[in-house]
Amino acid sequence: MNLNEIKGLYKEVFKTYDHPSLEEHVKKIVELDTYLPYSSTFFCITNTRDLKFEYISKNMTACLGLEKSLFETQGMRYFWGRMHPDDVEQWLQALNELMKFTLSEIDLKDRSKMSYTWNYRLMNADGVYVNIVQNTTPIEFDIANKPIIGLAHYTVMAPEIKMSICATAKLLNDKNEYETVYFNNFSQKLLTDAVSNRERDIIRLLVLNYSSKDIAEKLNISPNTVDTHRRNILKKFNISSTGELIGIIKMNNSII
């Protein structure tokens, strides 16, 4: 698939009609970047209509070894050109499915509370394809209420880690906790396909060392319901303890 084909499919997913105002969003994000330490994570403000990056944090070069100017002048086309060719089709499919899900299943009032995660491989400055886990929160919408401007965080992971291409959509609830409302594995069918969205949230919170009571409060369910889910999760993975479960998750974070 060449860059023109990618551009056509990408623009179809994010088709829009106007230019939103970004000045205040960009100003605040730039202020924050000054205080952030260098790490394996960088962030950008993405503009899916104009296929460009409105802002790129300083950590990008530290994470990938690439010059910011290339991202700034060539935009998303340059980014796509460094993506592993085997991942492009599944990545585009993931974006399209997330967009269709948002437009059909998420109320207009809730779209600003959404968070989306997907992954792919990207070539760094040394010519090595590293794993990228991208988490994007929409901050601006077009006149059709499609997310067009996003705050995107990119976590760079070692190339030795084998990751299926997955896409997840989470909704921030009234307790300020994310609840999974969509998950799909676009690479292959795994045991984890049998894990429900609710179970996925419980697994994520267990990894963060929350008790059943804490999880129940965050997800607006009863502790007994949490315990039932925990038993079902252990049964699905054919393991006997939460400790074993956490070990599995840390080796395969595409589950959550």
The domain ranges of the chain are: 3-188, 189-256
What's the rounded mean pLDDT across residues 80-86? Answer: 92
* Identity of the residue numbered 30: V
Residue pLDDT, tens place only, 129-175: 999 999 999 988 888 788 888 999 999 999 998 888 999 999 999 98
Length in residues, the chain: 256
Give the pLDDT score at 50.
Answer: 86
Residue pLDDT, tens place only, 28-60: 667 767 766 677 899 999 998 888 999 999 899
pLDDT at 191 over 70: no
Q: How many CB atoms lie within 10 A of CB 244?
A: 13
Residue pLDDT, tens place only, 228-246: 999 888 887 777 777 777 7
Q: What are phi and psi of 188, to 5 degrees?
A: -165, 165
Torsion (CA) 109, 112, 117, 121 in degrees, nearest 10: 130
pLDDT at 19 over 70: no
pLDDT at 185 over 90: no
pLDDT at 187 over 90: no
What's the rounded mean pLDDT across residues 61-85? Answer: 93
* Identity of the residue numbered 143: I
In angstroms, rounded to a whole number, what is the distance separating the alpha carbons of residues 243 and 234?
A: 10
Residue pLDDT, tens place only, 93-141: 898 899 889 989 999 889 989 999 999 999 999 999 999 999 999 988 8
Q: Is domain 189-256 annotated with CATH 3.20.20.150? A: no
DSSP state of 112: G
Give the pLDDT score at 39.
Answer: 76
Give the pLDDT score at 204.
Answer: 85
pTM exceeding the 0.85 threshold for the entire prediction = no
pLDDT at 70 over 60: yes
CATH architecture observed for domain 3-188: 2-Layer Sandwich (3.30)
In angstroms, rounded to a whole number, what is the distance separating the alpha carbons of residues 228 and 73?
A: 53
Give the pLDDT score at 105.
Answer: 93
Give the pLDDT score at 192.
Answer: 55
Yes or no: say if 237 and 245 are a contact pair by the CB < 8 Å rule: yes
pLDDT at 247 over 90: no
pLDDT at 248 over 70: no
What is the token pair recorded at 159?
Answer: 């190339």
Yes or no: say if 22 and 140 are a contact pair by the CB < 8 Å rule: yes
Give the pLDDT score at 225.
Answer: 94
SS3 labels along 152-195: EEEEEECCCCCCCCEEEEEEECCCCCEEEEEEEECCCCCHHHHC
